[in-house]
């Protein structure tokens, strides 16, 4: 044992010497057994695996659809207006003769990317800001929470509406950034509150006393312990980003014709739900399929990360986390409207 | 007792001669995910009027469930069979309404947690009056009930009872709340009181007060008492008869002296041997009972204790032994097929006593005293100083206001304490909760410059440390926390938990991978445990993991914050032995914080007694325990129950009055004077010195200092 200690000693000093912030935290989980264990548990969950595969297939379809069909999304077939699915138009056509399959696939391209990116960006941003504010407290906390409150009071729709002419003609990925910027604040406040409680737990103290720097404590201990909340938040954000994009597009911002997204297709198709159902149900079905797969994959990831989760407990814990999230969001919203929050938030200030 | 005479009918006047409570063949089971949990499996006992029955067992042995069954308070999904007769009347099968007429009037209960046993929105007086009004409908007026509740509070020793009756539960301290609960329990002059771990949540000094109150309650009501506890010490001086439970069954019952002196079931023997004794003259070995209580879902055939029993033979695995009489004593029953052989081992000892029983336990379980580390042979002055704390002060501001915070006072959490720890030495720090033990630890572990005073770790003054040298010091000083569940990240496999400190200090991966199995083995776990999560381990195992993590970097000093107080006695012994062994093997120094003085006596070389942020007495453990000089130490020591009924009954207890004063406003002069029995007995001219002059720490004997103007040794254990 002593020999090992001595070797460890020398390794320890060199390690400390080169412990610059850049190379200190390349990937905390890489190669350690936690990463492997989580992967093993995830693979064991068949539903999640299927859904992950489904997302990959959807992506593949969305980007490779020209291989399967002769039509493109901005090309009209003047011989067939509003034909039902079948024949050369697999999903039918709309009232100006555009092929629905091509449109849905093109829309899927946009929506998949917008949804996933907005979900991931806004949740990770929320996690970062929330944990930083909650862990360091003091001025960091006050200034970050000031920004959060400011963004919460700004009418996001108006800002996006004002900004979007400036971005017209540029890449629609800017739009992703805009959507994400207005979706993270409430989660950040919840994350901050959870950080405050987790910070007092003994395992965080233990890590602090063994000399673990704050940054790594956040990544190794605090974030994994609120993974359930973050994953659920991200999956909800994916769905709401797709819908937010729809409403913006409806008002003429965001994705503009002739380009399409699932959102614009659905909003165009709503009026023909009963008369020409394929115009509505097909894009809507793809949206449901996409959001559901994201949800199941997220569930799988959450179960893989949560050691106490078993099949029997899954529903319960999800319901609990969802309830927690909803309640916290409700608290923040009532607070924004100037009403007394029923519980909690106030004392975190 | 004049108040009591008017309050209660004289005891023993009731017509029934038979037992108050007769439980026979009681079985309780609950549904669970993995099958039915057989929480109680055929339990029979009796309680006579005025008798105190102690029920002892580890957590999960069914002791609480069986008493809840008597009260009819089990959840509706529980399946109950057998018979519970109270004064000859069958309770099983009665409706909730019928039971309500008995509950609170004839049978009452004292719960473990006094805070949740009282409704926070009613005053204490109102709650006692409510109990009187409910059962005395029409016969008791409101005024009479209010008056009686004040008398009851007075009886249980609450000062200014008339005033305090108007207070809300949160304005009471823990000990006072438990007294109020006892007042509530005896309000209707019950014939049976069930006390479920009534002192577990309380400090030792308060525990002694509460037990005293329970005794008074029993004397005035003449009720039978069932006291449930996991601590063999608590019941030794209080109970008349004892019942030891294991896996939902009674495994040994008998008169308390008999059971303690001639245990005839290896489990009882193990329990007795696993308790560190505050009255031990020399270091005695502790008996750990290996393994865990069996799962009550799917009990294997045979004696349920057999897998943990050192005496188990093949015959033990075939049938579960029934309770049978031992030694033809008429009253002593044990459920063990080899109980006669245990008797035979004992005969070699000269006479039956608890000490002899403990020796038998050590022999049967095969444990030996763990040696001292080699460095302990060097005289103390010549050893290196590992930790040196000089006049350390930690204060917290008390502020008021939301926008503009005004400082309205100061909490003197730690007020100038001085001590040092040498290589290979254990310093125990003891005191009631709120005395500043934990603050001291956190200050030392924080490695920041203290508000005043100095801390040096391994010769390095912490105020002179920069980032890198602080990290290097952290390597030599590690910590083990109290709550083994909270101190391990629930989302991290054990291997990662143990690897973390090594990763922090930049040890490369291959060495970490090699070291993890070594560490697991060192603390008595298996290498394949590395990829399991903390939730899959029991409390004792988790604490071992915490110890493994602390030892990963081979530190010089390990800071232990109440490492065993959250564990069952039999598991506790294993962890203490492990700590002892590691100290001897690796030459560690421990800073051991505990509120349990008997554990400190067992493990520590030196002990420091803290009171309100000050060290009142410090010195060699034998010297401090055998001739304590400071009145506070004397009171603390006398409050510790000794698991020996004869010694315990003969002991004179120093009962401290009141609770710890607020550290925001400590008394002038000597801080202990408000509760000091010595101060109270002094003539006024001597008293003034206590009030005006703060006593300095003065040397009383070699390596023994105490801070009292009138210090004199007094034998209390």
The whole-chain average pLDDT of chain B stands at 85
Q: Is the pLDDT of residue B5 over 60?
A: no
What is the pLDDT, as a whole number, of residue A191? 94
A257-261, B55-59, B526-530, B582-586: the lowest-pLDDT one: A257-261
Looking at the complex, report in whole angstroms how far the Cα of residue B596 sits from the nearest Cα belonging to chain A: 21
Edge to edge, the sheet with strand B452-457 lists B406-422, B385-400, B452-457, B460-461
Instruction: Look at residue B298 and tell me if it is in a domain.
Output: yes
Residue B238: Cβ within 10 Å count: 23
B618 belongs to a structural domain? no
Q: Quick check: A246 pLDDT over 60?
A: yes
* A2 in a structural domain: no
pLDDT band at A341 (very low <50, low <70, confident <90, very high): very low
pLDDT at residue number B615: 92
Low-confidence winner among A136-140, B15-19, B103-107, B342-346 (lowest mean pLDDT): B15-19
Alpha-helical (H) ranges within A154-274 are 156-167, 173-181, 185-199, 202-209, 214-217, 223-225, 227-250, 262-269
Contact residues on chain B for A12, CB-CB shorter than 8 A:
475, 505-507
Q: Provide the residue range defining the domain that includes A99.
A: 52-348
pLDDT exceeds cutoff 60 at B562:
yes
Residue B688 included in any domain = no
Helices (DSSP H) in B250-353: which residue ranges?
Answer: 256-261, 266-274, 339-347
* Angstrom distance (rounded) from CA B567 to CA B366: 22
Q: What is the pLDDT of residue A190?
A: 93
Answer whether residue B297 shows pLDDT above 50. yes
User: Residue B608's pLDDT is what?
Assistant: 94
pLDDT at res. A9: 33
Does A205 fall in a domain? Answer: yes
What is the per-residue pLDDT for A340?
41
Question: Is position B655 within any domain?
Answer: no
Is pLDDT at A72 greater than 80 in this prediction? no
pLDDT level of residue B12 (50, 70, 90 thresholds): very low
How far does the CA of residue A202 sit from the closest CA of chain B (Å)?
A: 4
Mean pLDDT within B560-579 = 84
| B77/B170 same-domain check | yes
**Residues B419, B551: one domain?**
yes
Residue A43 falls within a domain, yes or no?
Answer: no
Q: Which of residues 434-463 of B touch A (CB under 8 A)?
A: 445
Structure confidence at residue B348 (pLDDT): 57
Q: Would residue A180 count as lying in a domain? A: yes
Is B550 or A251 the better-scoring residue by pLDDT?
A: B550
Long-range pairs for B692-695: beta carbons < 8 A, 24 or more residues apart: B692/B668, B693/B669, B694/B669, B694/B670, B695/B669, B695/B670
pLDDT at position A27, please? 38
- Whether B8 and B128 share a structural domain: yes
Residue A309 domain-assigned? Answer: yes
In this complex, is the C-beta atom of B582 within 8 Å of any C-beta atom belonging to chain A?
A: no
Domain membership flag for residue B87:
yes
Task: Indicate the residue among B567, B592, B611 that finishes a domain.
Answer: B611
CATH, residue A196 = 1.10.3720.10
Res. B607: pLDDT tops 90: yes
Number of domains in chain A: 1
Average pLDDT of span B667-681:
88
- Would residue B110 count as lying in a domain? yes
- E strand or H helix that includes residue B498: helix B494-504
Question: pLDDT digit string (tens) for B220-274?
Answer: 888 899 999 888 888 888 889 999 999 888 999 999 888 888 888 888 888 888 8
Residue range of the domain that includes B355? 263-365
pLDDT tens profile A256-289: 777 788 877 887 788 887 888 888 888 888 888 8
In the prediction, which pLDDT does A96 show?
A: 76
Are both B333 and B428 inside the same structural domain? no
pLDDT digits (tens, 9 = 90+) for A168-210: 666 677 778 888 888 889 999 999 999 999 998 889 988 988 8
User: Are B71 and B156 members of one domain?
Assistant: yes
Q: What percent of chain A has pLDDT over 90?
A: 15
Q: Give the pLDDT confidence score for residue B388 in this predicted structure.
A: 92
Task: Tell me the per-residue pLDDT of B239-248, one tens digit each, with 9 for 90 and over.
Answer: 899 999 998 8
Nearest-angstrom CA–CA distance, B590 and B421: 8
- Summarised one tens digit per residue, pLDDT across range B48-98 is 988 999 999 887 788 888 888 888 888 888 889 999 999 888 988 888 888
Rounded to an integer, what distance in angstroms lies between the CA atom of residue B599 and that of residue B564? 9
Does pLDDT of A2 surpass 50? no
Cβ contacts below 8 Å, chain A against chain B, sum to 113
Residue B390, min C-alpha distance to chain A (Å): 21
What are A's interface residues with B at a Cβ cutoff of 8 A? 1, 4-5, 7-8, 11-16, 19, 31-34, 37, 201-203, 205-207, 209-212, 216, 220-221, 224-225, 227, 305-308, 312
Q: Do A205 and B492 touch (CB under 8 A)?
A: no
Residue B470 CB-half CA count within 13 A: 19
Give the chain B residue whose CA is nearest to the CA of A223: B491
The whole-number pLDDT of residue A250 equals 64
- Rounded to an integer, what distance in angstroms lies between the CA atom of residue B395 and that of residue B389? 16
Rounded to an integer, the average pLDDT of A115-124 is: 90
- Hey, what are A346's tokens? 């106030």
Task: Order across the sheet with B589-593: list the strands.
Answer: B477-480, B557-561, B589-593, B426-430, B606-611, B614-620, B704-706, B698-701
- 3 state SS of B479: strand
Give the pLDDT confidence score for residue A142 in this predicted structure: 92
Would strands B452-457 and B460-461 be described as parallel, antiparallel, or unpaired? antiparallel
Q: Is residue A36 part of a domain?
A: no
CATH code for the domain of B474: 3.40.50.300
A141 is a domain residue: yes
DSSP assignments along A265-300, one per residue:
HHHHHGGGTTTSHHHHHHHHHHHHHHHHHHHHHHHH
What does the pLDDT read at residue A130?
93
Tell me the pLDDT of chain A averaged across its residues.
Answer: 75
Among candidates B479, B508, B554 on the partner chain, residue whose Cβ is nearest the Cβ of A206: B479
User: What band does A332 get if pLDDT is binned at 50, 70 and 90?
Assistant: low
Residue B313 falls inside a structural domain: yes
- Inside any domain, residue A40: no
Q: Answer whether B500 sits within 8 Å of A31, measured CB to CB.
A: no
Does one domain contain both B586 and B485?
yes
pLDDT at position B7 is: 55
For A241, the token pair is 């980003």
From the list A141, A152, A185, A184, the residue with the least C-alpha distance to A349 is: A141
Which range is least confidently modeled, A160-164, A345-349, B32-36, B167-171?
A: A345-349
Of A4, A11, A202, the CB nearest to B486: A202
CA distance B628 to B715: 7
Q: Do B500 and A220 touch (CB under 8 A)?
A: yes
User: B418 CB contacts (<8 Å, ≥6 apart)?
Assistant: B389, B390, B391, B392, B453, B615, B697
Domain count, chain B: 3
* Residue A264 near residue A108, CB atoms below 8 Å: no
Give pLDDT tens digits for B184-201. 888 888 899 999 888 877
> Does B194 map to a domain?
yes
| pLDDT given for residue B174 in this prediction | 79
Report the pLDDT value the prediction gives residue B17, as an integer from 0 to 100: 63
Lowest-confidence range among B35-39, B52-56, B342-346, B712-716?
A: B342-346
């Amino acid at each position: 044992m002593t020999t090992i200690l001595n070797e460890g000693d020398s390794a320890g000093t060199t390690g400390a010497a080169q412990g610059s912030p850049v190379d200190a935290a390349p990937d905390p989980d890489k190669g350690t057994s936690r990463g492997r264990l989580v992967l093993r548990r995830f693979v064991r969950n068949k539903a999640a695996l299927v859904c992950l595969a489904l997302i990959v297939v959807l992506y593949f379809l969305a980007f490779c659809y020209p291989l399967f069909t002769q039509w493109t999304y901005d090309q009209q077939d003047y011989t067939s207006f509003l034909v039902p699915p079948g024949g050369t138009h697999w999903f039918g056509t709309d009232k100006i003769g555009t092929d629905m399959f091509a449109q849905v696939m093109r829309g899927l391209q946009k929506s998949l990317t917008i949804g996933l990116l907005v979900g991931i960006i806004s949740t990770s941003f929320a996690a970062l800001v929330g944990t930083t504010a909650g862990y360091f407290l003091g001025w960091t906390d006050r200034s970050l929470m000031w920004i959060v409150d400011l963004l919460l009071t700004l009418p996001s729709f108006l800002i996006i509406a004002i900004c979007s002419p400036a971005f017209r003609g540029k890449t629609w990925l800017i739009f992703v950034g805009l959507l994400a910027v207005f979706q993270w604040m409430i989660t950040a406040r919840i994350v901050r509150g959870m950080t405050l409680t987790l910070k007092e737990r003994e395992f965080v103290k233990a890590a602090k006393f063994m000399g673990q720097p704050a940054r790594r404590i956040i990544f190794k201990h605090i974030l994994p312990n609120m993974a359930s909340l973050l994953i659920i938040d991200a999956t909800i954000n994916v769905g709401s980003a797709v819908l937010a994009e729809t409403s913006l597009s409806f008002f003429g911002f965001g994705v503009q014709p002739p380009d399409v997204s699932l959102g614009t297709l659905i909003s165009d198709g709503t009026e023909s739900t009963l008369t020409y159902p394929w115009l509505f149900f097909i894009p809507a079905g793809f949206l449901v399929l996409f959001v559901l797969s994201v949800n199941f994959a997220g569930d799988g990831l959450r179960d893989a990360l949560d050691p106490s989760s078993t099949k029997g407990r899954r529903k319960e814990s999800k319901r609990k986390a969802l309830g927690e999230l909803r309640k916290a969001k409700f608290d923040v919203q009532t607070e924004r409207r100037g009403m007394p929050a029923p519980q909690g938030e106030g004392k975190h200030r | 007792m004049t108040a009591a005479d008017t309050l209660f009918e004289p005891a023993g006047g009731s017509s029934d001669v038979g037992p108050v409570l007769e439980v026979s063949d009681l079985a309780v089971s609950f549904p669970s995910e993995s099958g039915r949990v057989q929480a109680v499996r055929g339990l029979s006992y009796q309680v006579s009027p005025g008798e105190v029955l102690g029920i002892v067992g580890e957590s999960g042995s069914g002791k609480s469930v069986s008493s809840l069954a008597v009260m009819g308070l089990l959840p509706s999904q529980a399946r109950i069979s057998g018979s519970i007769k109270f004064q000859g009347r069958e309770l099983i099968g009665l409706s909730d309404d019928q039971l309500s007429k008995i509950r609170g009037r004839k049978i009452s209960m004292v719960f473990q947690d006094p805070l949740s046993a009282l409704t926070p929105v009613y005053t204490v007086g109102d709650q006692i009056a409510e109990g009187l009004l409910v059962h005395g409908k029409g016969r008791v007026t409101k005024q009479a009930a209010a008056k009686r509740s004040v008398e009851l509070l007075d009886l249980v020793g609450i000062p200014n009872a008339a005033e305090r009756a108007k207070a809300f539960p949160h304005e009471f301290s823990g000990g006072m709340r438990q007294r109020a609960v006892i007042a509530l329990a005896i309000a209707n002059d019950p014939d049976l009181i069930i006390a479920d771990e009534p002192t577990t949540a309380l400090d030792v000094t308060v525990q002694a007060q509460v037990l005293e109150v329970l005794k008074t309650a029993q004397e005035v009501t003449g009720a039978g008492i069932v006291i449930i506890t996991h601590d063999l010490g608590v019941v030794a001086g209080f109970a008349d008869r004892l019942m030891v439970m294991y896996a939902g069954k009674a495994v040994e019952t008998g008169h308390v002296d008999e059971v303690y002196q001639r245990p005839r079931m290896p489990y009882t023997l193990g329990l007795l041997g696993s308790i560190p004794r505050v009255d031990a003259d020399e270091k005695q070995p502790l008996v750990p009972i290996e393994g865990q209580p069996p799962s009550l879902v799917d009990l294997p055939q045979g004696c349920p204790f057999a897998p943990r029993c050192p005496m188990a033979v093949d015959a033990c695995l075939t049938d579960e032994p029934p309770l049978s009489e031992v030694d033809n004593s008429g009253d002593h029953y044990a459920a063990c097929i080899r109980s006669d052989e245990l008797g035979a081992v004992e005969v070699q000892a000269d006479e039956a006593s608890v000490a002899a029983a403990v020796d038998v336990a050590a022999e049967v379980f095969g444990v030996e005293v763990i040696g001292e580390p080699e460095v302990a042979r060097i005289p103390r002055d010549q050893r290196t100083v590992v930790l040196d704390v000089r006049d350390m002060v930690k204060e917290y501001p008390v502020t008021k206001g939301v926008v503009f915070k005004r400082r309205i006072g100061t909490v003197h959490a730690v007020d100038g304490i001085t001590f040092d720890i040498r290589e290979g030495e254990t310093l125990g720090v003891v005191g009631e909760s709120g005395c500043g033990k934990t603050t001291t630890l956190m200050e030392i572990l924080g490695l920041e410059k203290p508000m005043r005073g100095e801390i040096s770790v391994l010769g390095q003054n912490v105020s002179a440390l920069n980032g890198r040298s602080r990290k290097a010091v952290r390597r030599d000083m590690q910590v083990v926390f109290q709550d083994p569940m909270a101190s391990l990240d629930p989302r991290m496999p054990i291997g990662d938990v143990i690897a973390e400190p090594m990763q922090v200090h930049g040890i490369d991966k291959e060495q970490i991978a090699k070291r993890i199995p070594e560490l697991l083995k060192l603390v008595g776990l298996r290498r394949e445990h590395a990829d399991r999560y903390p939730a899959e381990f029991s409390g004792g195992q988790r604490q071992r993991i915490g110890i493994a993590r602390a030892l990963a970097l081979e530190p010089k000093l390990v800071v232990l914050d109440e490492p065993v107080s959250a564990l069952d006695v039999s598991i506790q012994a294993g962890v203490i032995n492990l700590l002892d062994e590691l100290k001897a093997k690796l030459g560690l120094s421990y800073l051991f914080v505990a509120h349990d003085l008997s554990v400190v006596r067992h493990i520590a070389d030196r002990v420091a007694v803290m009171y309100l942020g000050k060290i009142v007495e410090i010195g060699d453990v034998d010297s401090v325990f055998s001739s304590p000089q400071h009145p506070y130490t004397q009171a603390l020591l006398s409050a510790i129950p000794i698991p020996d009924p004869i010694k315990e009954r003969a002991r004179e207890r120093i009962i401290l009055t009141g609770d710890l004063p607020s550290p925001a406003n400590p008394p002038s002069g000597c801080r202990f004077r408000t509760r000091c029995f010595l101060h109270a007995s002094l003539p006024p001219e001597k008293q003034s010195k206590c009030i005006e002059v703060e006593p300095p720490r003065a040397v009383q004997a070699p390596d023994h200092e105490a801070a009292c103007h009138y210090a004199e040794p007094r034998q209390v254990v």
